[in-house]
Structure 1
């Protein structure tokens, strides 16, 4: 079956679309394409033609900008655009596009100075076509990984539901002396389920190339709701919600709750105190809001510091995978905020999240 998606060709030939207003440059390009068996000249415009690479000059770039933008947005792989510029005007054209016409410059993947040597033309074309090929490969791999991620999380959660069910039954038949051991097993099983949730949130955050859709979100309500849920999940801990917190609205999405869920989970699950205590406060700082989640645990080793948020970081004594904190860092970066860790007094850690507060009318308006 022949793939008729944008850019995929009949047989093994690669299709090049030449949209050049200058007749001399257009003739040079079309003759070069015709002289090479592995290429063919695409027919039509950028809205109807099937092509692997588009070659155009500044005049045609401006004329076809809307169509090329739509074409690039509607396909998951790269649609390479090679811009032809006169050799003596290359610097000025580049400067004008970068500084004065950034939307047009964003469409360009490479530039070609005319007149051009044949080897230079071949090199530019081959480079962009290789870029497209790598993009297609990465897209396929990402789709496969997304499917694998969904299947694994689904199966793990189903199996752990069975494990927890049998654990509850066995615990009811065992002596009270084994209750602490059963509680630890149950906590570990529930932690596995939470890790599948974190993995799903990470995949959801990183799988899209589009800009995230953020909307006004009541940070305080999300934080208090999550604190209550975490208290219900951890009977052995005391989770103190913020007292009379200020009302704060931030630009975020539905994954904001994942930030606080994972930070509170981390404060409880890695706490070695006889009575784990997690205290949450909210501060208003001019145009920002700061959430501080304090615990009385062992603290973060000085050798780790803020590296604890890295995707491959894991404390030597930690039973976790580090995925939760990596998700926190990824989401806060997505929201344009900051997250860091401080030492608590007399012991423990303070995880700090700072986000810019907004007015409802500014979200999505570009202000």
Structure 2
């Protein structure tokens, strides 16, 4: 914890972690009431400096009134974004003059300000109400920090685990490749299965990495125009090289359109193409890619000649049930596809293919229409 000069007297209890309160209130009377109450509490300590220290001081809860919030909204926004956990804001307001806090908010503030308020205490400030609001914000702050720390640990564990799994699978792939020259025909078939499974595991670690990247993104990922032809055609070429016994057919042309997406667009097609082969029990897996251009969107259909997916399992394989990825039919790859396509403003649906297998239909808005959606 960063050392700060605080507006509080007396040593804190050794068993209580004191929550730092920033009293950035312009009204002298309200500020005095807040400071007197905080100084009398063992679990709280007031940070000195007022609104002049909003940007650089260390604090856990910020207490503002309408005036200081308007004057410092940019600082509050930046501080909240930069914090490891939540940085709650308590607003001291005159909402008691209105029928409700919501009515007051509509009357005095626009939505851009209101979105930064986590709790409201009305004037004149009552100690019971103040305690209740601060205790709630204190819990939010502590829980969010604990979650952020745990998330950071899990992300680190995920990176280490993926790295170790890929290294071990590379070793297995190398030994299986060398073994092919020393076994009979039956043994070569087993080696091929080992190699296929090894590649599947490596693909799974890649899908997990990309899914984690989505989790680490902001709620609204930064999108840009991506050429569909490049993302789709490149993945088809790579799958042909990886799955030499499978057939990949492009029915027609891939139109020169751009999708409002990001670098993970190729992951959508890679996972769908992989899935069409890896879960295909045909002697020669066949994957047909069809792209249809519409006025405001493009439809990419990836169909196979495998066993298909029953209609009652289609939501489950995409992770759309209440169980999510815990459902036995769910797969990380298809869940990643569904998540990414939704972020791009598109849709995913599964139907039957004309070859008797499954067809995954991905509809994506073209770049010129994304802003209008």
Q: Aligned-pair distance for 1:217?
A: 0.4
1:40 CA drift (Å): 1.6
Secondary structure (helix, strand or coil) at the match of 2:359 reads strand
Contact 1:238 1:277 in 2 (8 A): yes
Query: 2:163 is matched with which residue?
Result: 154
- CA contact 2:303–2:353 (8 Å) conserved in 1: yes
In 2: Cα distance, 1:68 partner to 1:4 partner: 21
Counterparts of residues 47-58 of structure 1 (less than 5 Å):
47-58=55-66
Moved over 4 A (4+): 313-316
Give TM-score, length-normalised by structure 2: 0.89
Q: Shift in Å at residue 179 of structure 1?
A: 2.2
Q: Tell me which residue corresponds to 1:276.
A: 285
1:111 pairs with 2:120 = yes
Instruction: Give RMSD over aligned pairs.
Output: 2.4
Q: 1:331 to 1:91 in 2, by over 3 A?
A: closer
Seen in structure 2, the aligned counterparts of structure 1 residues 3 and 340 have a Cα distance that, compared at 3 Å, is farther
SS at match of 2:136: helix
Specify the alignment match of 2:54 in structure 1: 46
Q: How does 1:64-213 map to 2 (within 5 A)?
A: 64-86=72-94, 87-89=96-98, 90-96=101-107, 101-209=110-218, 211-213=220-222
Q: Number of matched residues?
A: 355
**Alpha-carbon distance, 1:293 to partner:** 0.5
| Structure 2 CA distance for aligned equivalents of residues 3 and 242 of structure 1 | 63
CA 1:112 to 1:195, structure 2 compared with 1: closer, same or farther past 3 Å?
same
Return the alpha-carbon distance in structure 2 between the equivalents of residues 314 and 68 of structure 1: 41
Distance 2:25 2:104 in 1: 16
User: Conserved in 2, the CA contact under 8 Å of 1:224 and 1:241?
Assistant: no
Distance, in Å, in 2 between the alignment partners of 1:172 and 1:305 is 41
Partner SS, residue 138 of structure 2: helix
Consecutive unaligned residues of structure 1, counting only runs of 5 or more, are none
Q: Within the alignment, does 1:350 sit opposite 2:359 as a pair? A: yes
Q: 1:4 to 1:306 in 2, by over 3 A?
A: farther
- Please point out which of 303, 312, 319 is paired with 2:325: 312
> Which whole-Å CA distance do the structure 2 matches of 1:96 and 1:69 have between them?
22
Shift of 1:46: 0.7
Contact 1:223 1:260 (8 Å CA) reproduced: yes
Partner of 1:28: 33
SS of equivalent residue, structure 2 residue 309: coil
Provide the secondary structure at the position in 2 that maps to 1:355.
strand
